[in-house]
Amino acid sequence: MLSGIFGKKTDNPLADIRSAQQLLDDLPKNDTRKLLMDLAELIESATGNTGFKLDHQFALLCLFDEAAQPHARKLIAEYFAPRELNSFQESRLWLVLGNLSRQTAIAYCTLFDRYAGAEKGSNTIKPQAPLLMARAVYALVWQLKYICVHYDLVEFAIWENLAHIFSYAEQQQCLDAPVRLYPGSIGNTSVRCEAGHLLGWYGSGVSSLSPVHMHLTERILAQYCTDIDVRAQQNPSSLFSFDLSDPDAPVRVKMNSTVSPSMRYVGMQAMQPKLELLMKTLEKDIVPEGLSLGGNYGAELVKEAVRHLLAYFMGPPVRGSVRRAIKINFNVENNFANVVGCVKAALNFSKERPVWVIEDISANSFLTVLPAQGGDGMRIGGVLGMQLEGVPHWGVAVVRRLLRNDASQLHVGAEILATQVAGVALNQSGGGARGFEDGQLALWLNAKPGEASGEARLLMRAGAFSANRSLHTHLNGKNYLLIPNGLQEKYIDCDLARFRLVEQEEGEE
C-alpha cells in the first residue's frame, strides 16, 4: 500500500499539488480494485494531515475523489448487477466500495467541520463552501448505502453530520446555492437537494428491499432530487421528519404531532407525477435513455423499484393482523430447492436442522432475532420453509425485512405465504412445447381463509411460469388442469403464480 511513501511533512508528496498529481498518475490503472483501495488511502492521508492548509486539503480531496468516480462506477455496476453475485464476489466488491465511501464521507465531513469552525484559511474556500457541503452529503448517501446493503446498524455520525451541514447551510443562507456536483454531471444540485435525496431514500423502507432495489430506488431519487423538498413547515404532503437538534433516522410524519422548531419535514409531492409518468413508460417495456441508473437494467426490475417508491408515497405498509409476543420453535429451511426437498420427504421437526425461536407472530407474519453469525444466506425475497414444533406439515414464508441491531444480531421479518404446502410434479398440457421440463417439482400452497375457490397458488422454479402454458398435476388422488391466471410475485429462486383449477377424470386431456 501507500503508507510507506510518506515521510516528514517536507517530504510528503501530498504537500505539493503537482507531486500529488504525479502520485495519482503513477497508480496502477489496470486493476480497478487496487486503484480504488489506493485512492481511499490517499483520501484518508490527505485529510488526516492537519498541517495542510484548508484550501490545499480541499484541492487534494477533490483531486482524488474526482479521479475515483469513473473507476468506482465500474465496480458499482458490477456490485449492483441484476444477476446475483456469489458471496466471494460480493464481499470483495463491498469491502472496496464500502471503504472508499466511508473514507470519502469522513474526509468531506472533517473538512467541513474545519471550515465551519472558522479555522485559519477558511475564507480561502468560502466560494466553494456550497460544493463542499453538497459533496459531503452526497458522500454520506453512499456511505449509508453500503451499510444498508448489509442491513447493518447505521452509524449515528451519519445523522449527526447531516444535521450539522444542513443547519450551517441554512444559517448561511446557501441551502439552495446551485452547484455542479462533479465535472460532467448533468444539471445542478444543492445542499437541500442532497439532504432530501438522503432522507427521502432512507425513509422509504430500505430495510425491506434487496440490494439491487436499494440501488435502483436511490438512483431514481437522485435523478429527481430537485423535486424533494426539505422545509421547517409541516404540511399535508410532508412524508418524513428529521430533527436537527436531536438527529436520528427520518421518521414517518404523523399529522397533529408535536412540532419543534428544530424539525425539518421532507416532502416529495412534486416527484409523484414524474414517477407515475416513468411508470407508464416502463409499462411499455422501455427504460428511458435519460434515466441514469449506473448499469443496464430491464424495465421489469426498474418498475418494481418505482412501484415501491410510489407505494411509500401513498403510505407505509400497514400490518394486516396483530402480532403477539410469544416464543415458538420453528424448523427452518432456506432456499426453494431445500424447501421442496423437505416437503417431498415429509421430514418431521428435528433439532438437527436450524431451529429459530420466533419472538412474535401473527396470522400473516413473524419476527425472529438471529445471533450475529446466524444470518448467513438471509436475503430479502428469499423463501423459507417453516415447520412448527409438534406439527407434521411444512409451511412457507418469504423474507420481507432485515436489520441488524447494535449487538450485530439480525432481525428477520417474514410474511407467511401458507401454513401448509404440498409438493407436486408439473407437466405441460398438450406436451411438446419448449422451455419447460416435465416432472419438475413445485409447492402447492393451501388456500388461506377467504381466498377464492377454484384457484391455486404455486411456488415454481424461477422462470418456469408462462401466461400461455397450461399445466397438469396430481394431488390427493385427483388430477388437475392448471390454467395460468397471472404471476403474483418473483422471489430470488422461485416465482409465486396463480392458476385456475379444472378437475379432470383419469386420462382426460
Taking only the tens place, the pLDDT of each residue in 166-182 is 999 999 999 999 999 99
Structural domain ending residue among the three candidates 401, 418, 435: 418
Q: Domain check: are 373 and 440 in the same one?
A: no
Q: Domain check: are 412 and 361 in the same one?
A: yes
| 139-177 as b/e: b if 16+ CB within 10 A | bbbbbbbbbbbebbebeeebbebbbbbbbbbbeeebbeb
Q: How far, CA to CA in Å, does 280 sit from each of 31, 82, 102, 294, 307?
A: 41, 22, 37, 21, 11
In this predicted structure, what is the pLDDT of residue 86? 87
- Asked whether the predicted pLDDT for residue 329 surpasses 90, the reply is no
Q: Domain check: are 349 and 411 in the same one?
A: yes
Asked if residue 166 belongs to a domain, the reply is no
Asked if residue 12 belongs to a domain, the reply is no
Q: Domain check: are 349 and 409 in the same one?
A: yes
Structural domain ending residue among the three candidates 418, 445, 468: 418
| 348-368 as b/e: b if 16+ CB within 10 A | ebeeeeeebebbebeeebbbb
What percentage of the chain carries pLDDT values higher than 90? 57
In this predicted structure, what is the pLDDT of residue 326? 66
Asked if residue 339 belongs to a domain, the reply is yes
Count structural domains, the chain: 2
- Asked whether the predicted pLDDT for residue 4 surpasses 50, the reply is no
What pTM value is reported for the model?
0.85
Domain of residue 412, CATH code: 2.40.10.220
In this predicted structure, what is the pLDDT of residue 351? 62
Asked if residue 382 belongs to a domain, the reply is yes
For residue 456, what are the domain limits?
421-504
Distance (Å, rounded) from C-alpha 181 to C-alpha 69? 11
Asked if residue 252 belongs to a domain, the reply is no
225-252 average pLDDT score: 92
In this predicted structure, what is the pLDDT of residue 352? 66
According to DSSP, residue 106 is labeled H
In this predicted structure, what is the pLDDT of residue 353? 66
In this predicted structure, what is the pLDDT of residue 74? 95
Q: Domain check: are 328 and 402 in the same one?
A: yes
Q: Domain check: are 481 and 437 in the same one?
A: yes
Quick one: pLDDT band at residue 297, thresholds 50, 70, 90? very high
Distance (Å, rounded) from C-alpha 16 to C-alpha 60? 9
Structural domain ending residue among the three candidates 370, 401, 418: 418
pLDDT digits (tens, 9 = 90+) for 193-206: 999 999 999 999 89
Structural contact between residues 215 and 294, judged by C-beta atoms closer than 8 angstroms:
yes
- Asked whether the predicted pLDDT for residue 434 surpasses 50, the reply is yes
Q: Domain check: are 412 and 366 in the same one?
A: yes
Asked if residue 63 belongs to a domain, the reply is no
